[in-house]
Amino acid sequence: MKVTYQGETGAYSEMAVYKFFGNKAEPVPCKDFHDVFESVKTGAVLNGVIPIENSIEGSVNQNYDLFLNYDLKVCGEVAVKLAHVLIANPQTIFEDIKTIHSHPQALGQCRNYLEKHTWALHPEYDTAGSVKMIKEKQLSNAAAIASEKAADLYNMKIVARDIADNPSNYTRFLVLSHNDADPTGDDKTSIIFSAKHAPGTLYNVLGEFASRNINLTRIESRPTKTTPWQYNFYIDFEGHKTEKRCIETMQALEKYAVFIKIIGSYSRVI
Amino acid sequence: MKVTYQGETGAYSEMAVYKFFGNKAEPVPCKDFHDVFESVKTGAVLNGVIPIENSIEGSVNQNYDLFLNYDLKVCGEVAVKLAHVLIANPQTIFEDIKTIHSHPQALGQCRNYLEKHTWALHPEYDTAGSVKMIKEKQLSNAAAIASEKAADLYNMKIVARDIADNPSNYTRFLVLSHNDADPTGDDKTSIIFSAKHAPGTLYNVLGEFASRNINLTRIESRPTKTTPWQYNFYIDFEGHKTEKRCIETMQALEKYAVFIKIIGSYSRVI
């Protein structure tokens, strides 16, 4: 069962694939998030897994934006605990490290630790990919930030542990598909909402949820990109889109909306 | 009159300094946003200018987060139109370009153009800094994305213009100080709000603004970083904190808040 994810073998996204699909999964690495959406769209794979939000660094904006361009559904969510370690080639001496390579979010999550040293930070496209790169280039003055699993996979040395500013560091991933999931009784629905430009619209929108006792679990805004300082709202709320209270809410929102796009109902994890 | 900004001479942040303070400004470049906050805090400079939001790529998360750690005020805002060009050393031939260097937001803003080529993208800490770097290293297979002004300043060649996906590309900057600004009659106030964890809290908070006819111009959420999937809200609204309706709203919010921090009232531009 093929599932695409962004990054290299050993990436946190790959862990998310296994956590959601179990050992029947056959993770397929790809270069960027756009490729994940594209390969699900074309049917090259049935599912893809993308990070949407980290508990320290916040939203993965590019993935929020890609939901506007693709008519794909979210059929599940999964959270993975991130435990960063500092990884180097086996012959590297800690004192010789000059440059640190990792995904910008991982560099951000270890900011306090990194600031205690005079290392140059190099943002890369992936955590595990950074380990692979310093191995392939046999860099002896470099280290990468990634998971312990990535260190093992590439037979590299862990030179420091517990380097994240905050040990409570989770990334929430969404599972992409052509169809969303059937109701389980404990579900969540994600929508994109473009509000008509009028005072108090967001307040009125939230009122439609509140009056039906529907809790919101997340609200995020992203630029429309067409008009500066205008935003689309991404709202996650409790309930499945087939529930009566959710159907009524979606109907009630239409009077405040330029458009509403339901991107999926799925079993709630968080 | 010294004003700090992040980046190198020719950076868009430097343009924001001149646009807000005029020719009396003496812009002082520094390495990162943390340094901008720190130099205003210590009194090394009276003001700093930081980007807070781009009309395409969205919020500059690190600066939102820094407001939590510093007791500085916002005393003004200014928007700068970004017009990216592709810049190379004078001897570089377009067909020889292999790598593109720029700030990740600028790379993101030119995604469609960049995807038409097979260039490797190198995220750097600053747009103008990328121009400086490819000049100093005399890279003949590299180009940088920055402003036309940066090309002029470093005597470099413009090899492509109009490369941004969207010509309507603006960054909004905030001016930092130890004091916010006096009322002008057309003001804005920015607050950070940590909501008590109860259903409908955000709805009730927005209701306090709506019932007093106070328009919100921006609402953004950022992770608290202490508890996963809990958020602080950053709200910008019309009015000066010394206005009666604003004082009453802030008082009314206290019953929903773990904390409220007013980070400034200032003359409204956007």
> Is-catalytic flag, A171?
yes
The mean per-residue pLDDT over the stretch B126-142 comes to 94
The mean per-residue pLDDT over the stretch A59-72 comes to 94
- Check whether B31 has a pLDDT greater than 90: no
Average model confidence (pLDDT) across chain A: 94
From A221, A231, A202, A211, select the one nearest B214 (Cα to Cα). A202
The closest CB to that of B56, out of A202, A220, A223, belongs to A223
Is B99 in CB contact (< 8 Å) with chain A? Answer: no
Confidence (pLDDT) at A252 = 97
For testing the chain B interface, which of A66, A203, A238 should be mutated: the one with the most B CBs within 10 Å? A203
Spot the catalytic one: B173, B193, B209, B233: B173
Confidence (pLDDT) at B186 = 96
- Check whether B178 has a pLDDT greater than 90: yes
> Is-catalytic flag, A173?
yes
Residue contact A223–B57, C-beta within 8 A:
yes
Token digits for A41?
């769209």
Cα separation, A23 vs A42, whole angstroms: 24
Confidence (pLDDT) at A238 = 96
Residue B123's alpha-carbon distances to A18, A122, B83, B256, in angstroms, are 30, 8, 18, 41
Cα separation, B108 vs B103, whole angstroms: 9
pTM score, whole prediction = 0.90
What percentage of chain B carries pLDDT values higher than 70?
100
Spot the catalytic one: B92, B127, B171, B189: B171
What is the chain A residue with the closest CA to B212? A200
Token digits for A33?
């998030």
Is B123 in CB contact (< 8 Å) with chain A? Answer: yes
Average model confidence (pLDDT) across chain B: 94
Confidence (pLDDT) at A188 = 97
Is A120 in CB contact (< 8 Å) with chain B? Answer: no
Is A222 in CB contact (< 8 Å) with chain B? Answer: yes
- Chain B CB contacts of A207 under 8 Å are 203
Spot the catalytic one: A20, A33, A173, A193: A173
Residue contact A206–B210, C-beta within 8 A:
no
Using DSSP, state whether B13 is helix, strand or coil. helix
The mean per-residue pLDDT over the stretch B238-265 comes to 96
- Check whether A200 has a pLDDT greater than 90: no
Mind telling me how many Å the CA of A154 is from chain B's nearest CA?
Answer: 24
Confidence (pLDDT) at B39 = 97
Mind telling me how many Å the CA of A132 is from chain B's nearest CA?
Answer: 17
What percentage of chain A carries pLDDT values higher than 90?
86
Using DSSP, state whether A228 is helix, strand or coil. coil
Contact B85, B113 (CB under 8 A): no
Contact B224, B194 (CB under 8 A): yes
Say if residue B116 is exposed, middle or buried (CB neighbours under 10 Å; 0-12, 13-18, 19+).
Answer: exposed
The residue written with tokens 């803003």 in the block is B109
Residues of chain B by 3-state class (helix, strand, coil), percent to 5: 30, 35, 35
Spot the catalytic one: A4, A92, A127, A171: A171
**Cα distance between the two ends of chain B:** 25
pLDDT tens figures, A136-169? 999 999 999 999 999 999 999 999 999 999 889 9
Is B166 in CB contact (< 8 Å) with chain A? Answer: yes
Say if residue B205 is exposed, middle or buried (CB neighbours under 10 Å; 0-12, 13-18, 19+).
Answer: buried
Mind telling me how many Å the CA of B26 is from chain A's nearest CA?
Answer: 28
Is B54 in CB contact (< 8 Å) with chain A? Answer: yes
Residue contact B206–A210, C-beta within 8 A:
no
Query: Looking at this predicted complex, what is its ipTM?
Result: 0.87
pLDDT tens figures, A164-175? 998 899 999 999
